[in-house]
Chain A
Amino acid sequence: MTGWLIFIAVLLVLIVLFQVTRTLDLVSQLRGDDDSQLEQTSRMQAIALFIFMALGVIGFFWSFRHFAPTNVDVASEHGELIENMFIATLVVTSIVFVLCNVLLFTFVLMYRYKKGREAVHFAHSNKLEFFWTVVPTIVLTGLVVFGLQAWTRIMGPPEEDAVIFEMTGQQFFWTSRYPGADGKLGPRDYSLICAENPLGIVTREYVEHRINTLKGNAELGVEGEIAALENRKSELPGLIAALEDKIAKRPNRYMKDQLQEELDALEDEMDEIDDHILRRNQTLDRITKKYTEDYYMANAEALTWGYDDFLPSELHLPVNHEAIAKITAMDVLHNFYVPHMKVKMDAVPGMPTSFKFTPTITTEEMKQILSQNPAWQRVREGDTDPVWMSFKYEVACAELCGLGHSAMKYTMVVESEDEYNTWAESQIPYWNGIASSLKISGFSKAAPVLKTAEPEAPAATDTTATVIAAQ
């Protein structure tokens, strides 16, 4: 009700305002003498435009000081490079921006319409045009040269001893992986992905496991996904018929709607189930075709790299040591974005990318820096400490990837070389945690070795070595 009243009130005000503007227009028509009218209007508008420009230029500098995140410290080496380029370009473009706008609005003010003033017929001047073609060309060449130098450095090859880690984007989370003691990330195959092998790392056991979970294995008591789907497919018509029956009998409207929804869901499932079965079969097909004995012979070494890889729940990197992110995606495009480090690179399904960078400020140092920053004094709901106290470098996704795009947060800790090493050594290879639950028959051989591996054992990498040796 009040909503309507407000609406009507606003409408009335608008009508009144409109009548006023109409009257203004009519009056100016009646007064005649269009030229002096126009002279007056032009004067008013020109002055207003000039003031607008002046306020705008002031606003530009003011808003820069107030809102630009210039107090965010750059936490990587190449980030400094980018920052400098940014500032240099900002200076150059600010000059152009201010100068051109000032000229524009000054000309408008100076040469606003006056009765009897004659404009100058000035149609072109080769000299002027040459001048302002050449000047921007020179300035831009300068920027390009510096820009490309920086670009080559940023995109150049990484150093030999760079810390390698891998980030995999998936709707809607990141999975990180480190290569473990051997310094090599195990190869991956998306066909092998399953609950026990979330990244699809390739080892002989994982291949066997995946074949068994797809095809089923009576000996091991595994039903197999394909068989499960087939079963479901055969029971669906019965379920659907039963539901249809119920709906036909049920007079209650509410219940009917609910049943109808269930029915729709079942019918959708029925429509799609063949696709799912087909895809499982195709996956199985790809696996059995690819992983032949020849393949194992040819890739024997690479197939051992995956055992000691570990999948931590956050990134750790040593300070002042180059790191290289190997970036991949499983489903759609994502982008590995670390705002403080000015790191940004797309994650593309089917095409691994990478980005190298050297963190320069540890997490602890950054905390101290941020403790001085007003924006970090906020207190999160349900928390008592200001946010800077729990600071960790944040990783975000910078390529639209669906409804959870804004929730793809990951964290990164930068620490001293020693701290990093201690951390890395304490990490347990993913394989160790999962091996016993794999559905493979040859597993009994490897099992005893693995079972001796204590979860806390710092010598996790040794254990892996034993596993490999046992092969």
Chain B
Amino acid sequence: MSQETTIKEHLETHVTDHDHDHDHGHHDHHQSFISKYIFSTDHKTIAKQFLVTGIIWAIVGGGLSVLFRIQLGYPDADLSWMKPLLGKWITPEGHIAPEFYNALITMHGTILVFFVLTAGLSGTFSNYLIPLMIGARDMASGFINMLSYWFFFLSSVVMAVSFFLATGPASGGWTAYPPLNALPAAASGSVAGVDYWLVSIVLFIVSVLLGGLNYITTVINLRTRGMKMFRLPLPIWAFFLTAVIGLLSFPVLLSAGVLLLFDRNLGTSFYLDQIYIGGEALANAGGSPILYQHLFWFLGHPEVYIIILPAMGIASEVLSVHSRKPIFGYTAMIYSLLAIAVLSFIVWAHHMFMTGMNPFIGSIFVIFTLIIAVPSAVKVFNWLTTLWRGNIKLTPPMMFAIGFVSLFISGGVTGIFLGNSSIDVELHDTYFVVAHFHLVMGVAAFFGMFAGIYHWFPKMFGRHMNNTLSYIHFWGTIVCAYLIFFPMHWEYMLPRRYPTHAGFDTFGMFAQLNEFITIAAMASFAFQLIFVFNFFYSIWYGRKLKEQNPYHATTLEWTTPIRPGHGNWPGDIPEVHRWAYDYSKHGRDFIPQTEPLSQYEIEHGEHGDEMDSDVIAHENDDHQS
């Protein structure tokens, strides 16, 4: 008890003072359930809140895709059995009503892009890892951090409620292009659903901005002594840059969304011009639907990197730890992240080649788009070299990290097709695009996330997940992911967002393939349930973690107690003396970041790049401090 008191006092002095409310008296050691698990300001708890909410949304979002894939794979089948779930949205012939099909794809995209792969991924790992890996007691502001989660929660509630509207949820695509999403007469989802969608997204943006501000401030200000920027583990760099990108791009989506709300509800014409709908001409004049697309994709493209950078960071860390090698080209990795972050702001119009945009401007975007492929390629080569001559432990997180690299390669190369505007004429808005972004962003980011969950689960919950189930989950997921999205490239004539292609003879040749993909999609969903079970089961019943540093990793999070309390380190925050990737150096399996540099390293540079560790090992005997 007395020890706990000293820890607590210690905390009070080290945690930045402004985040402790006054009612959190000095002598109150027993937090209530509510302040500990619900309105918690502990970054670790908030991370878990993001993670669990993300998992729930992933089940919902994934489930929706199974529903619409069934419609697409079996356009003639009688789906009346879905009636108990979907009610009036099943037509008398037993098909999913087209407007609801559109609502399903819209919600699927929105939920997975924003709620799962942005909030669920960044929210979880930025929150969890930033303080632990940089050596801070908590985020710069625990309170703002808590707000960030609760705004996300509110946003989730609004989106969830929209499912139950009589006119259905938003149904104009996750990109919410006007006029379809601006005019209630244009689609049933646009009657009320889009308002809910927009309000939800606005709340979500508030959450992202609050979270992002915190991540940035924390990384800049709260690094422990010795933790120079160029000693940070790569995930932290990734989270940091992700937050910067988010901070610069999400406000633009906010304004796009608010203007759309105005167009919908106040009679303005930002995006509307000369529209004749529902048998009458509207008075709106002078706006441009293309303006919205520019604003949307000014966020939209950075958003895809907001999703993938954290996954890249996590994969880099996991690859390095489990192959017992330093990440190859640490500085190149950082500079390529930076390059991606900067370039991601000047490629947005590659989503708009076919909007009638000035072709010359299109050419500029072609050039920038293909430039952004270079840093992406560099990262891939660096990951490959990291594995080269390693000692690769194929644990579940490592399997997912390897899967991530493979998926990123497979999905990335197709970007080269799409970025070339002349090929995009053919591919735009077809299943080729769907295949591209699901592999490179959707599934790859999920793999990064899974790698992170499997890797840090023991840290998060003090228990291990079941290994066998983890392997089953990996195999089921990677096999299905490739079976779904690889052959989908060959549907490069097939337009997206059709509940059935039966009206066209030209598309008849894809019916078989569509059915096959649907089967794989259902299987892949089933495999995710195994993960969900394993995750929740292991939180309470998993094998207990006994070692403080089970992976023999160098980073700071493994210097905390097995179950770290609020404040992370019971004693002083450790000081850092070296970068995070001293694996297999000087004949040692790993050297923790907390270990001071040896005399040799001081003389020869701390990042010691020697190929021949044997030689070093001998020299090292003399220099070991």
- Measuring CB to CB, which residues of chain A are less than 8 angstroms from any residue of chain B? 18, 20-22, 24-25, 28-29, 38, 41-42, 45-46, 48-49, 52-53, 56, 59-60, 63-64, 67-69, 72, 79, 81-82, 85-86, 89-90, 92-93, 96-97, 100-101, 103-105, 107-108, 111-114, 117-125, 128-129, 132-133, 136-137, 140, 143-144, 147-148, 150-152, 154-155, 170-171, 190-191, 193, 200, 276, 279-280, 282-283, 286, 327, 330-333, 335, 337, 339-340, 342-346, 348-354, 375-376, 378, 387, 391, 394, 396-407, 409
Contacts and interface: CB of A to CB of B under 8 A. Distances in A.
A125 B382 CA distance: 10
B563 to A, nearest CB: 20
B532 interface: no
A140 B328 contact: no
A133 B379 CA distance: 10
Interface stretch (B33-41, B57-65, B121-129, B416-424): B416-424
Contacts of B468: 20-22, 24-25
Contact of A151 (B188, B366, B428, B533): B366
B220 interface: no
B393 interface: yes
Contacts of B500: 406
B262 interface: no
Contacts of A354: 356
Nearest to B413: A93
A100 B423 contact: no
Contacts of B362: 151, 155
A119 B414 contact: no
B136 interface: no
A119 B583 contact: yes
Given A100-B384, A279-B280, A394-B506, A350 B323 contact: no
B508 A378 contact: yes
Given A152-B363, A350-B274, 4 more contacts: A24-B467, A119-B324, A121-B583, A121-B610
A333 B289 contact: yes
Contacts of A400: 102, 172-173, 177, 180, 496-497
Q: Could you say which of B414, B422, B543 has the most chain A C-beta atoms within 10 Å of its C-beta?
A: B422
Contacts of A140: 370-371, 373-374, 416
Contact of B428 (A59, A123, A398): A398
Given A21-B472, A335-B429, A376 B99 contact: no
Interface in B481-507: 482, 486-487, 489-490, 492-493, 495-501, 503-507
12 contacts: A18-B533, A21-B466, A81-B422, A82-B425, A96-B409, A121-B585, A123-B581, A332-B277, A350-B272, A351-B288, A398-B429, A403-B188
B426 interface: yes
Given A46-B392, A120-B325, A350-B273, A101 B508 contact: no
Q: Could you say which of A154, A351, A405 has the most chain B C-beta atoms within 10 Å of its C-beta?
A: A405
Contacts of B171: 402-403
Nearest to B613: A121
Contact of A136 (B377, B504, B587): B377
A223 B97 CA distance: 39
Contact of A152 (B97, B359, B482): B359
Interface string B385-429: 101111111110001001001100110011011001111011011
Contacts of A332: 178-180, 183, 186, 277
Contact of B423 (A59, A147, A280, A335): A147
A150 B210 CA distance: 45
B226 interface: no
Nearest to B375: A133
B451 interface: no
B326 interface: yes
Given A112-B392, A140-B373, A400-B172, A63 B543 contact: no
Contact of A41 (B331, B355, B394): B394
Contacts of A29: 543
Interface in B276-335: 276-277, 280-283, 287-290, 323-332
Contact of B102 (A376, A402, A409): A402
A107 B387 contact: yes
Given A69-B492, A118-B613, A193-B281, A331 B179 contact: yes
Given A144-B366, A330-B277, A346-B355, A18 B469 contact: yes
B377 to A, nearest CB: 4
Nearest to B382: A129
Contacts of B323: 111, 119
A45 B381 CA distance: 22
B354 interface: yes
A340 B506 CA distance: 8
A136 B422 contact: no
Question: Which of the four size classes fits the interface of chain B?
Answer: 35 or more
B420 A119 contact: no
Interface in B220-266: none
Question: What does DSSP make chain A's interface, helix, strand, loop or mixed?
Answer: helix
A331 B409 CA distance: 40
A82 B426 contact: yes
Contacts of A96: 409, 413
Interface string B351-370: 00011100100110011001
Nearest to B617: A118
Q: Could you say which of B373, B420, B498 has the most chain A C-beta atoms within 10 Å of its C-beta?
A: B420
Contact of A118 (B183, B276, B584, B610): B584
A27 to B, nearest CB: 10
Contact of B503 (A28, A333, A391, A406): A406
Given A21-B468, A349-B289, A123 B328 contact: yes
Contacts of B402: 49, 104-105, 108
Contacts, number: 382
A129 B466 contact: no
Interface string B589-625: 0000000000000000001111101001000000000
A72 B274 CA distance: 39
A52 B509 CA distance: 28
A409 to B, nearest CB: 5
A154 B383 CA distance: 39
A171 B173 CA distance: 16
A403 B366 contact: no
A284 B607 CA distance: 76
Contact of B388 (A21, A41, A107, A339): A107
B545 interface: no
Contacts of B325: 119-122
B276 A200 contact: yes
A282 B417 contact: no
A283 B281 contact: yes
Contacts of A403: 97-99, 102, 171, 187-188
A276 B359 CA distance: 39
A128 B374 contact: no
Contacts of A118: 391, 584, 587, 613
Contacts of A82: 422-423, 425-426
Given A111-B392, A119-B584, A331 B328 contact: no
B275 interface: yes
A352 B383 CA distance: 47
Nearest to B372: A140
B275 A331 contact: yes
Q: Could you say which of B272, B354, B469, B510 has the most chain A C-beta atoms within 10 Å of its C-beta?
A: B354
B379 to A, nearest CB: 10
Contacts of A151: 359, 362-363, 366, 420-422
B513 interface: yes
Contacts of B328: 122-124
B378 interface: yes
B274 A123 contact: no
Contact of B504 (A24, A144, A344, A396): A396
B443 interface: no
B505 A279 contact: no
A120 to B, nearest CB: 4
B380 interface: yes
